[in-house]
Structure 1
Amino acid sequence: MKDGIQACAEIRAATEIVQPTILMLTARTLAEDQRRAYDTGVDEVIEKPFRPRAIVAQVRDLLAS
């Protein structure tokens, strides 16, 4: 079974596809885990628990950029 970081690494390695924006929802709150996610190619990390409005706002920001 893969975690989100492994899945992100596979997506980023797939050069034959249009690269999507990746937003990761995670319970991992350690700075090291988040750094690893960003290093792998995650565009934004949101920690659990989260507020739905916060996710909507971040998705809007990501899509606007």
Structure 2
Amino acid sequence: MGLGDKLSNSAEEFKGKTKEAAGEASGNEQLEAEGRNDQLKAKAKDAVEDVKDKAAEAFNKVTGKD
């Protein structure tokens, strides 16, 4: 996973936390839900990138391309 991807996902997760907190503070349930959704999307992207990284590591180990 590239540094840019990590930063982008972290920014998206932070944005989601901020939206969720703003929604909670203002009683805006839609904004709160959007914030939770943004966080879930960022975590899902991280999980996909982790799988890609593990697959690449395994491939490189098998082919001797460390």
Scaled by the length of structure 1, what TM-score is found? 0.33
1 or 2, which has the higher helix percentage?
2
Report which of the two structures shows the higher radius of gyration computed on alpha carbons: 2
